Structure 1
Amino acid sequence: TVHMRDIRKLDKMFSTSNEPSITVRQQAILVNCDPVRAVIMRDCCFVFLPDGTDSLIAHLKSNFKLHIADASAFEFAYNHTIYALEAILATICCIFSTQCKQVIPLGRSALEKMTKDESMSELESLRSIKNSMSVLESQLGGMRRLLMTLLENEADLHMMYLTKLCENPKLAQDLFCIDTEDVESILELYLQEIYSSQTRVALMAQNIVNTESIVMLKLDSKRNFLLSVDLSLTLLGTLIAMPTFIVGAFGMNLNSHIQDTEYVFWVVFALCGLFILVGYVVVVKYLKQQGINMSWTY
């Protein structure tokens, strides 16, 4: 039987997590796979869709009609509850496939732009796409875990045959006499489809992460180059300021009569230039020994 707490779980307000789930009860299957929520019974199926998802109605109708036709053609292999569940799973897979077709080309286009333009604006755009892919990959991962858990739950697989259990209640006492090969094959089919979509998204997300790392390395290299240039200019400015201060202080405030001596100007000028050159070479050599490269080559 279906309890009120099972119905409440189909509502986002009462759900503790957004993890997809398929709950099997006596004569009912509850599907909670955002944005599709449904209660499947042996003679009817109630589907609940959130606002703004009117486009899913056409997909659900076409999938129900398609699987009803399959059920009529293979009536021994299917029953109403199984084809209803299959129609819902097909719709969910269609949603994920559409999202993959939308986000993967965007990621590929962003990667191509990053190879030509390494600006921060393109990097932010790439991060936005990566976040969208992470959300989609998380949803696909949740759906995959759901199907794998359901395949491992033998009791739930047997209880999915609501029509058989209603027509022959004695089967409930020995569920394992029901052959579940049909529902297992259906779940495995959609598990493969979900895994395929998840792999595509994961590969593109990994490519984005790798590209982002390479771009960050290039930006770090540019930053280090600019820091090296800044350090070199700062060092030159400091070395020039020191003799300038000394010469200015002595030349303007002390009358030493040195200025009357011939060639003194050129001697002082040469000493100042030599101090700057030797000081720069010594500092650069010391920094290089410490592992700091002052080269201007990029």
Structure 2
Amino acid sequence: MGKKPGSSSRTIGWPRLRRPAGSPPPAPMPPIGGSSSPPNNNNSMIVGGGGGGVGKGKKKTGGPKLWMRFDRSGRSELVECDKSAIVRRAAIPARDLRILGPVFSHSSSILAREKAMVVNLEFIKAIVTAEEVLLLEPLRQEVLPFVDQLRQQLPHKSPFQGAGHMDEQDNETHVSTGRQWLPVPEATEGLQYDLPFEFQVLEIALEVVCTYLDSSVADLERTAYPVLDELARNVSTKNLEHVRTLKSNLTRLLARVQKVRDEIEHLLDDNEDMADLYLTRKWIQNQQSEALLGAAASNSIATTSPHLRRLSSARSGSLVTSNFQGENDVEDLEMLLEAYFMQLDGTRNKILSVREYIDDTEDYVNIQLDNQRNELIQLQLTLTIASFAIAAETLIAGLFGMNIPCTLYKMNGIFGFFVGGSSAGCVLLFLLVLGYARWKKLLGS
């Protein structure tokens, strides 16, 4: 029969037994199999130990490295920072630090980021911003000249040379950013313009690297020419080993010069990459944009003295869209890179001239060896002709040594004449064959 709607089914089972108050709880049932041993509580310790083993097996991250910090005024300090601190300070991707690592120790690259420039030129590994330089491994012997140049030149250079006299001019305009006054592009016309801070550092780095490569090429030239001249005079295993080592050093040096030259050429071919390297320009534009936005919000753009006029809306708009000479103007950087590109091209030509001298010396040595080989072949041919003539006389002597009865044996005094005549015939045969070989130009004249 069907169940009426709304009715509930009722389960019939055993009645529940209530435990009297105060009675102890029943003992737990033993597990199946009769084992009554308590459960092992050391599982968590084993897992923890395994986790520790896995943790020890992980690759350790690199610790803090030694960096040297230079600011605009030339002040420097040594600091130890890890990768995360450098990434936060310079606002660069973490992968850019791999370029400064030992894997790319002899590579050359100049990368432009939003607020920094990553420079990896030979032994110089630095991160340049609009306000400071972070130099990796500053105590290396090759890096010390770069550190000395930074200490000597940075205090004497300023990206706004003559800015201290701006307040004395009546036709100047400034924009307040809350912390400092920034010059308006129109107000800097007629002033002596110097390279921005990041290009000053880049110029010093290129100068140190080019000087180092030039000195390396000069040392190579001083070593190469005596070794090659000695090889031309005396072809020996020792001299050949010296030339082989020389060619290996030349190939490595040429590759290093070529890498720096190709990197500069890559920048010269792309104006957008060069424009991205203007960190000071972007920094000033950001400061001016913040100043204009703050001034527009508070409507309180004011001048610093009665001699300074207020900014018009057209001039205010030009602050954001232009800086000194425009966003796309890369003439200063292009002239800087072209100068060092020509210097590196000259260094490369010196290396190529040394390699050409090596090739000429090798050709000369090969000609000498070929000449000696030809002389040996001529000597071998002459000895072969002489052996043929002597073999003819030996044939005659062998024929008479068979003890066959002959009337010549009974003639007295014929032995001397016969031996002399056969020897003369062999000499004549030798001269005839030798003359034929010279006539066919098989032997030298």
TM-score (normalizing by structure 2): 0.58
2:327 alignment partner, one of 168, 177, 184: 177
Question: Which residue among 92, 95, 105 is the counterpart of 1:5?
Answer: 95
| Amino acid paired to 1:214 | Y
Partners of 2:124 and 2:273 lie apart in 1 by 20
The CA deviation string for residues 126-173 of structure 1, in whole angstroms up to 9 with x for no partner, is 332233222212221221111111111111111111122123136998
Match of 1:266 among 417, 427, 436: 417
C-alpha distance in structure 2 between counterparts of 1:172 and 1:58, whole Å: 40
Instruction: Choose which of 223, 226, 236 in structure 1 pairs with 2:386.
Output: 236
AA at the equivalent of 1:71? K
Kindly report which structure 2 residues correspond to 1:136-285, keeping only aligned pairs within 5 A, or say none.
136-169=253-286, 177-262=327-412, 263=414, 265-267=416-418, 269-279=420-430, 281-282=432-433, 285=436
Q: CA deviation at 1:238?
A: 3.5
Structure 2 match to 1:131: 248
Tell whether 2:231 aligns with 1:107.
no
**Alpha carbons 2:123, 2:142 under 8 Å: kept:** no
SS at match of 1:274: helix
Structure 2 runs not aligned, ≥5 long: 1-90, 162-192, 290-318
Q: What is the match of residue 153 of structure 2?
A: 67
The structure showing larger relative contact order (alpha-carbon pairs under 8 Å, at least 6 residues apart) is 1
Matched letter for residue 38 of structure 1: A
- In the other structure, the counterpart of 2:113 is 25
Structure with the greater alpha carbon radius of gyration: 2
Residue 103 of structure 1: CA displacement? 0.9
1:60 and 1:261, CA in 2 relative to 1: closer, same or farther beyond 3 A? same
Partners in 2 of 1:121 and 1:100 — Cα distance?
23
Query: What SS does structure 1 have at the residue aligned with 2:143?
Result: helix
Cα distance, 1:72–1:217 mapped onto 2, change above 3 Å:
same
Secondary structure (helix, strand or coil) at the match of 1:3 reads coil
Per-residue deviation at 1:253? 4.3
Query: What does residue 96 of structure 1 align with?
Result: 213
- 65-74 or 236-245: which moved more? 65-74
C-alpha distance in 2 between matches for 1:259 and 1:26:
114
Q: SS at 1:177's partner residue?
A: coil
Q: Deviations over 1:230-253 (max 9, x none)?
A: 331233124313421441353254
Cα 1:268–1:116, aligned 2, differ >3 Å: closer, same or farther? closer
1:47 aligns with 2:198: no
Would the aligned equivalents of 2:321 and 2:327 in 1 still touch at CA under 8 Å? no
> Which string of whole-angstrom CA distances, capped at 9 and with x for unpartnered residues, describes residues 18-68 of structure 1?
542211111121122222222222233223349xx8222320112212431
Question: Which amino acid in 2 is paired with 1:274?
Answer: G
Instruction: Give the Cα separation in 1 of the matches to 2:239 and 2:435.
Output: 36
Instruction: Confirm or deny: 8 A CA contact 1:67 1:86 kept in the other structure.
Output: no
Partner of 1:122: 239
- Between stretches 256-265 and 21-30, larger displacement belongs to 256-265
How has the CA–CA distance of structure 1 residues 152 and 71 changed in structure 2, closer, same or farther, with 3 Å as cutoff? farther
8 Å contact 1:63–1:90 — kept in the other structure?
no
SS at match of 1:21: strand
CA–CA distance in structure 1, aligned partners of residues 160 and 230 of structure 2: 51
1:236-276 CA-partner distances (Å, limit 9, x unpaired):
12431342144135325434342333535523542343245
* SS state at 1:203 partner: helix
Task: Report the Cα offset of residue 84 of structure 1.
Answer: 1.5
The CA deviation at 1:96 is: 0.4
Q: Following the alignment from structure 2 to structure 1, what is the Cα–Cα distance between the partners of residues 275 and 140?
A: 33
Please tell me whether the aligned partners of residues 35 and 49 of structure 1 are also in contact (alpha carbons under 8 angstroms).
no
Q: Deviations over 1:57-102 (max 9, x none)?
A: 3201122124314523874322221112122212211220221121
Moved more, 89-98 or 234-243: 234-243
Query: 8 Å contact 1:96–1:197 — kept in the other structure?
Result: yes
1:259 and 1:265 in contact (8 A); partners too: no
CA distance in 2: counterparts of 1:25 and 1:288, whole angstroms? 79
CA contact (8 A) 2:258 2:348 kept: yes
Give the match's secondary structure for 1:31. strand
CA distance in 1: counterparts of 2:100 and 2:261, whole angstroms: 19
Aligned-pair identity (%): 23
The alignment yields a C-alpha RMSD, in angstroms, of 3.1
Q: Aligned pair count?
A: 290
Where do 4+ consecutive residues of structure 1 move more than 4 Å?
Answer: 170-176
Distance 2:131 2:428 in 1: 94
CA distance in structure 2 between the partners assigned to 1:116 and 1:128 by the alignment: 19
Q: 1:118 touches 1:215 (CA, 8 Å); kept in 2?
A: yes
